[in-house]
């Protein structure tokens, strides 16, 4: 009856409800409801009721477990929000550089409880596991938005972030304690790969072997995601299966040797790869299979998955928020539910030709059918998750998986061999790595070429694509439930629906006279101006450069915009210009309009070097697009905010003003030399800072509506109460990206 599976389903449902829907005493209330339903199910006693009873027991224990975890562990952490504490932190992993210094994970004791934390230092020091850091830190609970997204930190068991309040002291041990063997080995592997592989393939080798994607370029990550094979560099079940196959063969398929060597190697691999939920899930299931093989017991994959999920959620119920957890479990669930059915259907009810025998055609048919079945089975569950988390679904992933996955196994083994040989004799490892770099380049080239197909991915920025995805799942459900199946009709309906959704996504925005779109990039600004077939982007920066570029690219591609007429940068702060380079790598622009000041700014220098032939340096007021766009410069050139370029966008019957990060002084300078019209729309300066959007500017322009591009729960307190009160005095309608998400205003 798979009692453990049903119990885990209930436990998981309770964790999901407790994390996403209810909290506090509601957990006990729902636990009470589960108890009543459990008693009723036991009284009825039928087979279905017994399954329900197992699930309800899981629910009951799940609600109680989450309630206790919250009260004893999370609630004290929440109460430390914005508190300044003197901390003694033991570093648990190597530090990673940031813009201001360094960050690392560590553990510290607070109010008698040990917490794993992520801490930041404002100096570029070297940190190793076992080192100790002491000093005053301001704590933040990781339940907020933006860069503190709970899907990342809380899923890893990190509930507090620590920012230095004053000087810190470091005690560096020199020799790393033996308990940190896994991170030390990981660091040695990364260093070795950096040495033996060429510069253009080292980052991919590190990502494929142990999941370190930090050095992958934005272009490579985008190509892998768009082509549907990013999972090859997110260490998961595929990597564990490849590693186990090698162990099994090297052990001569001997059960005892496989268990003796396989279990510790898999556990070490999981620790070196960072113990992400996906790798832990895969290793637990693989170890259970080895134990079943050793003891001549039947291995039941659903029960093994249930045990792995229960282990993860019992150790950290908030693991359910992790994208790694959701995709890993969803992938296996999809394979369990649909892969065999798809496989049987393709072989038995489609004219693929003979699949039995030892002929090359039969072998290729079996391989292709197996690959397509597994990919489709996994995508059946992971596609909605990707749409929800990443805003995109790869349509071409099946083809890419067919082309590169078989190649990836060989490369994985080759990287392992290169590391071993490089440890023995460095030149030998370098030689193997040089040869191995060619297939790596082939994989990167293939994914890059495939990702350039115009509709390789579709994006949920379009409501029509969302509707098509829902329609597709309804259609597939009907297809698999009907006895007489018509695959040609299904395919035609799916393709027709997709074509219609894409056509509507591309045509509908072009029916408006004009549009201004404030893209939700978190704490930053990215605005799209559309008018009479012309497209100008103003700024692109936010919580992270990559996120800002991703959100802007998805918006543009979902509307069939593959090239910008121009990109205007108001100033070079990262929250306005940090994502420009990444955006241009996906969506080129005919012209870049950049301010001339701030020569030493690295963003300015990078753009000047990369796009020198496309740049128009704005050193005086400039009129674009037949007078529809006017760029105003500033007389102030020493302060980045005050010298922000201002943009007046004037499509038919509408006046829209963008002031960058200018404060009262910069706004006054603009008003002194320019006569501005009454505005229909004003983009609030400096994300709603109290020193911008002055009464003087509001009185001169009388805006009807104000857009505020701002991140949720940002640490600056934007938009400020003072700014909102000024807008209220003038009766302005206010739209905020932290509340509404991406905002589209049209006329």
% of the chain at pLDDT higher than 90: 53
More confident residue, 369 or 17: 17
Q: Give the confidence band of 490 by pLDDT, cuts at 50, 70, 90.
A: confident
For the chain, how are helix, strand and coil distributed in percent, rounded to 5? 55, 15, 30
Q: How many CA atoms lie within 13 A of 357 on its CB side?
A: 8
> What pLDDT band is residue 253 in, cutting at 50, 70 and 90?
confident
Q: Per-residue pLDDT for 188 more than 50?
A: yes
Nearest partner of 582 among 561, 611, 558, 560, judged by Cα:
611
- Reported confidence tier of residue 657, pLDDT bands at 50, 70, 90: very high
pLDDT(144) > 50: no
CB neighbours of 561 closer than 8 A, spacing ≥ 6?
A: 535, 587
Residues 6 or more apart whose Cβ sits within 8 Å of residue 149 = none
Residue pair 97/120 in contact (Cβ under 8 Å)? The answer is: no
Mean pLDDT value of segment 638-664? 89
Q: Calculate ∠ Cα 508-509-511, nearest 5°.
A: 70
Q: Is the pLDDT of residue 148 over 70?
A: no
At residue 357 the predicted structure's pLDDT band, cuts being 50, 70 and 90, is low
CA distances from 306 to 5, 6, 269, 300, 436 (A): 5, 8, 22, 10, 38
The stretch 506-534 carries a mean pLDDT of 92
pLDDT in tens, 402-416: 888 888 889 999 999
With a CB cutoff of 8 Å and minimum separation 6, the contacts of 408 are 208, 232, 238, 443
Q: Worst-scoring range by mean pLDDT, 136-150, 330-344, 370-384?
A: 136-150
Contact 139, 85 (CB under 8 A): yes
Provide the pLDDT confidence category of residue 352 given band limits of 50, 70 and 90: low
- Residue 250's CB: how many other CB atoms inside 10 A? 13
| pLDDT for res 712 | 85
**Residue range 599-612: average pLDDT?**
90
3-state secondary structure of 80: coil
Residue 480 has pLDDT above 50, yes or no: yes
pTM over 0.85: yes
442-449 own/partner pairs: CB under 8 Å, 24+ apart: 442/407, 443/204, 443/404, 443/407, 443/408, 443/411, 444/201, 444/204, 444/220, 444/223, 446/227, 446/400, 446/403, 446/404, 447/223, 447/224, 447/227, 447/229, 447/400, 447/404, 448/219, 448/220, 448/223
Mean pLDDT of the chain: 89
pLDDT, average across residues 366-376: 81
- Whole-angstrom CA distances from 348 to 39, 343, 352, 402, 483 are 46, 9, 9, 21, 14
**Is pLDDT of 367 > 80?**
no
The 3-state DSSP class for residue 587 equals coil
Would the pLDDT of 242 be above 80?
A: yes
Q: What is the pLDDT of residue 351?
A: 62
Q: 415: exposed, middle or buried (C-beta count within 10 Å: 0-12, 13-18, 19+)? A: buried
- Mean pLDDT, rounded, for 559-588: 94
Q: Greatest CA separation found in the chain?
A: 86
Give the chain's end-to-end CA distance (angstroms, integer). Answer: 60
Residue 202 has pLDDT above 90, yes or no: yes
Specify burial of residue 124 (Cβ count, 10 A radius: 0-12, 13-18, 19+): exposed
Q: Is 420 helix (H, G, I), strand (E, B) or coil?
A: helix
**pLDDT per position as a tens digit, 23-81:** 888 888 988 898 898 888 888 877 788 888 898 999 999 999 999 998 998 889 888 88
**Segment 8-27, tens digit of pLDDT:** 999 999 999 988 888 888 88
């Amino acid at each position: 009856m798979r009692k453990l599976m049903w119990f885990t389903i209930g436990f998981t449902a309770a964790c999901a409800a407790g994390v996403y829907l209810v909290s506090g005493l509601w957990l006990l209330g729902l636990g009470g409801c589960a108890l009543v339903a459990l008693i009723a199910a036991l009284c009825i006693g039928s087979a279905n009721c017994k399954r329900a009873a197992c699930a309800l027991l899981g629910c009951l224990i799940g609600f109680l477990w989450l309630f206790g975890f919250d009260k004893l562990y999370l609630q004290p952490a929440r109460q430390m929000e914005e508190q300044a504490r003197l901390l003694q932190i033991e570093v648990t992993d190597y530090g990673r550089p940031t813009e201001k210094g360094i960050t690392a994970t560590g553990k510290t004791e607070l109010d008698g409880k040990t917490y794993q934390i992520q801490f930041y230092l404002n100096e570029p020091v070297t940190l190793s596991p076992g080192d100790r850091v002491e000093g005053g830190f301001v704590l933040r609970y990781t339940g907020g938005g933006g860069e503190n997204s709970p899907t990342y930190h809380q899923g890893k068991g990190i509930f507090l972030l620590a920012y230095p309040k004053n000087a810190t002291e470091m005690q560096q041990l020199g020799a790393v304690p033996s308990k940190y063997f896994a991170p030390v080995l990981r660091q040695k592997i990364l260093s070795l790969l950096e040495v033996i592989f060429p510069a253009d393939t080292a980052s991919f080798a590190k990502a494929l072997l142990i999941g370190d994607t930090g050095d992958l370029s934005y272009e490579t990550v985008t190509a892998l995601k768009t082509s549907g094979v990013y999972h090859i560099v997110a260490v998961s079940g595929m990597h564990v299966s490849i590693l186990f196959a090698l162990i099994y063969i090297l052990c001569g398929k001997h059960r005892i040797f496989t268990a003796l060597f396989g279990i510790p190697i898999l556990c070490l691999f999981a620790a070196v790869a960072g113990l992400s939920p996906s790798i832990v899930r895969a290793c637990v299931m693989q170890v259970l299979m080895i134990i079943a093989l050793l003891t001549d017991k039947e291995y039941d994959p659903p029960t093994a998955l249930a045990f792995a999920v229960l282990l993860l959620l019992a150790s950290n119920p908030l693991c359910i928020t992790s994208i790694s957890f959701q995709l890993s479990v969803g992938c296996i669930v999809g394979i369990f539910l649909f892969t065999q059915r798809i496989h049987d259907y393709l072989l038995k009810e489609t004219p693929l030709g003979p699949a039995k025998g030892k002929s090359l055609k039969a072998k290729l048919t079996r391989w292709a059918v197996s690959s397509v079945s597994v990919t489709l089975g996994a995508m059946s569950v992971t596609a909605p998750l990707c749409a929800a988390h990443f805003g995109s679904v790869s349509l071409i992933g099946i083809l890419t998986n067919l082309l590169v996955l078989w190649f990836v196994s060989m490369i994985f083994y080759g990287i392992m061999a290169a590391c071993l040989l490089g440890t023995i004799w460095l030149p030998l490892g370098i030689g193997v790595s040089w040869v191995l770099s060619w297939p790596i380049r082939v994989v990167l080239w293939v994914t890059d070429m495939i990702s350039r197909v115009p509709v390789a991915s579709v994006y949920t920025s379009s409501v029509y694509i969302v509707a098509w995805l829902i329609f597709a799942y309804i259609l597939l459900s009907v297809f698999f439930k009907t006895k007489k199946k018509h695959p040609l009709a299904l395919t035609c309906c799916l393709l027709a629906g997709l074509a219609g959704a894409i056509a509507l996504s591309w045509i509908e925005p072009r029916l408006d006279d004009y549009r201004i779109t404030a893209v939700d990039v978190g704490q930053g600004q990215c605005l799209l101006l559309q008018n009479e077939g012309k497209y100008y982007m103003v700024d692109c920066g936010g919580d992270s450069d990559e996120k800002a570029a991703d959100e802007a690219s998805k918006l543009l591609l979902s509307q069939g915009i593959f090239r910008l007429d121009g990109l205007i940068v108001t100033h070079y702060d990262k929250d306005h210009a940090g994502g420009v380079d990444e955006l241009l790598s996906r969506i080129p622009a005919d012209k870049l309009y950049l301010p001339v000041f701030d020569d030493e700014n690295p963003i300015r220098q990078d753009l000047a070097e990369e796009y020198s032939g496309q740049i128009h340096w704005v050193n005086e007021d400039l009129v674009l697009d037949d007078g529809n766009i006017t760029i105003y410069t500033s007389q102030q050139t020493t302060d980045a905010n005050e010298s922000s370029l201002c943009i007046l966008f004037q499509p038919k019957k509408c006046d829209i003003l963008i002031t960058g990060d200018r404060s009262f002084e910069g706004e006054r300078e603009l008003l002194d030399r320019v006569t501005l019209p009454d505005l229909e729309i004003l983009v609030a300066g400096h994300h709603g800072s109290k020193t911008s959007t002055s009464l003087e500017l509001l009185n001169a322009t009388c805006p009807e509506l104000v857009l505020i591009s701002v991140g949720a729960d940002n640490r600056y307190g934007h938009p400020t109460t003072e700014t909102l009160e000024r807008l209220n005095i003038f009766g302005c309608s206010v739209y905020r990206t932290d509340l509404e998400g991406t905002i589209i205003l049209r006329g």
